[in-house]
């Protein structure tokens, strides 16, 4: 199911490790990050990262994805978290002691910049990676999330637009690229195109919670409460288990009820489903 060493090489995304299990766990963690899931059969993202490090403690890209996922969560920083500071230093040391590809070196560099608070510079490095390796999902997703935090709407759209044609249907996670692209289109007011692309993604995988998120935004921006409420209700079973994003989608659902004036329904959703810190901040 998940990619081995040779498959990564065949995709033009060489990983500097000789351990197949480490490559599989790297792919498993990346897949869960992109799909907003925590696969209990794999121990979730944390379990995969732990198994990855056990399989090959010196796998630099394993440290990149582990540290990157921690940083992208924005829950702490190197200054406040000594364990994270140590992990970042270890990653850099490993990268200097191994014959890595240029792409892998750039990943380390981008993460160093992100960790130091230089998000625009980190994005520049991820874009450099995508220029030569347009199907590098880790670079694409890290850049997308960083642009989101920065409020860089046009860049969030164009980063995906530049590589979109390379994501042919035979490439794993290609349908999720449609969802990522659709969100950038929505953020730059191309509502009809965004909804069309998100629906294309959902036709391939109805559990794509990020595409659901795009459509939720589109209905809000069009003030189409009826369509929004109907869409969330009809699709709930598909995205309700999608980790933290499910909580956020429920928050969007509650907004429809607030706009409708049905505050009891909004509070019911809030009390039952909204428990993520970011969504509580959105409300306050």
What does the alpha-carbon distance between residue 45 and residue 188 come to, in Å, rounded to a whole number? 31
pLDDT given at position 23: 96
Tally Cβ neighbours within 10 Å of residue 120.
12
pLDDT given at position 4: 85
Tally Cβ neighbours within 10 Å of residue 143.
26
What does the alpha-carbon distance between residue 212 and residue 235 come to, in Å, rounded to a whole number? 8
Residue 114 and residue 71 in contact, taking contact as beta carbons nearer than 8 Å: yes
pTM above 0.75, yes or no: yes
Convert 192-210 to b/e letters by CB count within 10 Å (16 or more is b).
eebbebbeebbeebebbbb
Backbone angles phi, psi at 149, to 5 degrees: -65, -35
Q: What is the DSSP string of 189-236?
A: T-HHHHHHHHHHHHHH-TT-HHHHHHHHHHHHHTT-HHHHHHHHHHHH
Domain with CATH 1.25.40.10 in the chain: 173-284
The alpha carbon of 25 is separated from its chain's Cα centroid by a whole number of angstroms, namely 17
What is the CATH number that goes with domain 1-165?
A: 1.25.40
Q: Compute mean pLDDT per 10 residues along the chain, 284 residues long, and list them.
A: 87 95 96 94 95 96 96 71 86 93 97 94 98 98 97 98 97 97 98 98 97 97 96 97 91 95 95 68 44
What does the alpha-carbon distance between residue 150 and residue 153 come to, in Å, rounded to a whole number? 9
Cα angle at 247 between 242 and 252, to 5 degrees?
115
pLDDT given at position 76: 63
Does the domain spanning 173-284 belong to CATH 1.10.490.10? no
pLDDT given at position 277: 46
């Amino acid at each position: 199911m998940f990619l081995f060493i040779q498959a990564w090489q065949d995709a033009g995304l060489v990983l500097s490790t000789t351990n197949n299990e480490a490559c599989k766990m790297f792919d498993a963690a990346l897949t869960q990050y992109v799909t907003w899931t925590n696969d209990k059969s794999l121990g979730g993202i944390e379990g995969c990262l732990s198994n990855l490090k056990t399989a090959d403690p010196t796998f630099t890209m394993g440290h990149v994805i582990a540290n990157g996922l921690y940083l992208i969560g924005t829950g702490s920083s190197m200054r406040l978290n000594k364990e994270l500071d140590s992990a970042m230093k270890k990653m850099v040391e490993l990268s200097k002691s191994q014959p890595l590809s240029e792409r892998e070196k750039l990943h380390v560099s981008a993460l160093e910049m992100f960790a130091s608070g230089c998000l625009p510079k980190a994005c520049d490095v991820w874009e450099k990676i995508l220029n030569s390796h347009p199907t590098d999902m880790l670079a694409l997703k890290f850049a997308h999330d960083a642009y989101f935090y920065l409020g860089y709407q046009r860049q969030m759209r164009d980063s995906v637009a530049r590589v979109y044609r390379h994501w042919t249907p035979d490439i794993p996670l290609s349908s999720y690229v449609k969802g990522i692209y659709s969100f950038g289109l929505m953020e730059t007011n191309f509502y009809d195109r965004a909804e069309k692309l998100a629906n294309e993604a959902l036709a391939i995988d109805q559990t794509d919670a990020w595409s659901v998120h795009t459509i939720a935004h589109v209905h809000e921006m069009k003030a189409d409460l009826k369509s929004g409420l109907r869409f969330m209700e009809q699709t709930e079973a598909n995205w309700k288990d999608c980790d933290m994003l499910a909580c956020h989608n429920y928050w969007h659902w509650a907004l429809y009820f607030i706009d409708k004036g049905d505050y009891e329904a909004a509070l019911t959703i809030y009390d039952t489903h909204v428990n993520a810190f970011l969504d509580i901040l959105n409300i306050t």
